[in-house]
């Protein structure tokens, strides 16, 4: 199969010398892992920040009874755009997980080094936490005013720690009238729905989901779930849920934890993502299906950087072995000279 030649960015525009030195240092295997963690944290930040911000406008608009300020559609679209940006900007170092459920599933399926998973998950949660912190302080005057308005109307205790309260901008709470069983069902089905979209996008033989469309497909999968089912209680991503919940607890204390619903919001999507993998693997994967040319080209380009990193590690290993061997030979020669002089 003919393929286009690999043309590197440096052939188009040369970077400053200090940037080239940093790149050589950054691409070392040990440092590369840190870069992956930075990418995971930044990617989740880009996904969560616009979504939480849109949610703040929607919740505060309802509290102040301002019609037309924010909507579920706006919130879902904000999350979708955030996912597109996250994958487009931060997906290069490792393909982009941005989802603890995906990281855990790939580790369990031996498609991702298990030792990397804890660092990835912590970085993902931190990205969501940082996004929630920034949104809080950007909206703080209005959040404080909204809390004052709720207290004046004697509604603070009833509304604050619900999806309609200021704390609900950041942490996810059981919607009024919902039961834990129904909210689990809602979470599981929607998370499996998104999971199927993710596994289909990762399938190298997928004809209808070319690599260039993957960020948009996953973003839209999130968006349609939010548009249709957010009101019934929906997290979809443990990083967004745990990061936002920890931030709410940082501001309002343990009362903002969310009770037993917190476990459903944080864990259900992980199980559902794994379930979606088995459904896709059993019913929709066909090893005899041809891999499209676009996928071959994408894989060839995306893995080339990894190949260069492995070659660098091999080169460093060989260099260290050669240096060690040279030192041993030098030491043996020195010992031989001493013995000869004594003789």
Give me the half-sphere count of Cα atoms (radius 13 Å) on the Cβ side of residue 179.
Answer: 3
Using pLDDT thresholds of 50, 70 and 90, give the confidence band for residue 321. low
Quick count: other Cβ atoms within 10 Å of Cβ 89? 14
Residue 312: what pLDDT? 44
Helices then strands, each counted (H, E), the chain: 11, 0
Contact 226, 187 (CB under 8 A): no
Cα–Cα separations (whole angstroms), residue 28 to 21, 167, 308, 333: 12, 42, 10, 34
User: Angle formed by the axes of helices 29-63 and 293-342, to 10°?
Assistant: 140
Residue 14: what pLDDT? 81
Residue 276 or residue 325, greater confidence? 276
The residue ranges of every structural domain in the chain are 38-285
pLDDT tens-place string over residues 79-113: 999 999 999 999 877 778 999 999 999 999 988 99
Does pLDDT of 19 surpass 90?
A: no
Q: What is the mean pLDDT of the chain?
A: 87
Does pLDDT of 7 surpass 80?
A: no
pLDDT tens-place string over residues 36-77: 999 999 999 999 999 999 999 999 999 999 888 889 999 999
Q: Which pair of tokens denotes residue 108?
A: 């369990």
Cα–Cα separations (whole angstroms), residue 36 to 84, 100, 209, 307, 310: 18, 14, 25, 16, 15
Among 28-37, 106-115, 174-183, where is mean pLDDT lowest?
Answer: 28-37
The second-level CATH assignment, the architecture, of 38-285 is: Up-down Bundle (1.20)
Report the C-alpha gap between 186 and 228 in whole angstroms: 11
Does pLDDT of 302 surpass 80?
A: no
Write down the pTM of the prediction.
Answer: 0.85
Give me the half-sphere count of Cα atoms (radius 13 Å) on the Cβ side of residue 192.
Answer: 13
Mean pLDDT of 111-130: 95
Residue with tokens 């934890």: 257
Which residues have a Cβ under 8 Å from the Cβ of 54 and sit 6 or more positions away?
70, 74, 75, 77, 78, 79
Residue 32: what pLDDT? 85
Give me the half-sphere count of Cα atoms (radius 13 Å) on the Cβ side of residue 315.
Answer: 8
Residue 337: what pLDDT? 53
Report helix, strand and coil shares of the chain as percent, to nearest 5.
Answer: 75, 0, 25
**Residues listed for the chain:** 343
């Amino acid at each position: 199969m003919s393929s286009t030649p690999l043309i590197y960015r440096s052939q188009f525009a040369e970077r400053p010398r200090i940037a080239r030195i940093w790149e050589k240092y950054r691409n070392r295997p040990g440092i590369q892992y840190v870069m992956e963690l930075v990418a995971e944290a930044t990617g989740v930040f880009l996904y969560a920040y616009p979504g939480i911000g849109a949610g703040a406008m929607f919740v505060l608009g309802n509290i102040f009874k301002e019609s037309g300020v924010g909507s579920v559609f706006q919130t879902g679209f904000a999350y979708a755009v955030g996912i597109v940006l996250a994958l487009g900007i931060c997906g290069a170092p490792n393909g982009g997980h941005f989802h603890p459920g995906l990281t855990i599933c790939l580790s369990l399926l031996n498609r991702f080094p298990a030792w990397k998973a804890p660092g990835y998950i912590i970085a993902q949660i931190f990205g969501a936490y940082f996004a929630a912190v920034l949104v809080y302080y950007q909206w703080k005057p209005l959040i404080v005013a909204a809390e004052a308005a709720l207290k004046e109307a004697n509604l603070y205790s009833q509304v604050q720690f619900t999806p309609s309260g200021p704390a609900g901008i950041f942490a996810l709470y059981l919607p009024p009238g919902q039961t834990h069983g129904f909210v689990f069902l809602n979470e599981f089905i929607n998370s499996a729905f998104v999971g199927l979209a993710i596994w289909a996008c990762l399938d190298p033989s997928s004809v209808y989901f070319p690599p260039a469309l993957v960020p948009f497909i996953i973003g839209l999968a999130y968006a349609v779930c939010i548009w249709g089912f957010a009101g019934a209680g929906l997290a979809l991503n443990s990083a967004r849920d745990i990061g936002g919940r920890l931030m709410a607890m940082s501001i309002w204390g343990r009362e903002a934890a969310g009770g037993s619903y917190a476990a459903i919001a944080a864990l259900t999507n992980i199980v559902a993502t794994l379930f979606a993998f088995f459904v896709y693997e059993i019913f929709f994967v066909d090893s005899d299906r041809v891999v499209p040319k676009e996928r071959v080209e994408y894989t060839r380009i995306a893995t080339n950087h990894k190949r260069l990193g492995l070659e660098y590690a091999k080169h460093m290993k060989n260099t260290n072995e050669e240096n060690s061997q040279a030192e041993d030979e030098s030491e043996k020669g020195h010992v031989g000279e001493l013995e000869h002089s004594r003789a």
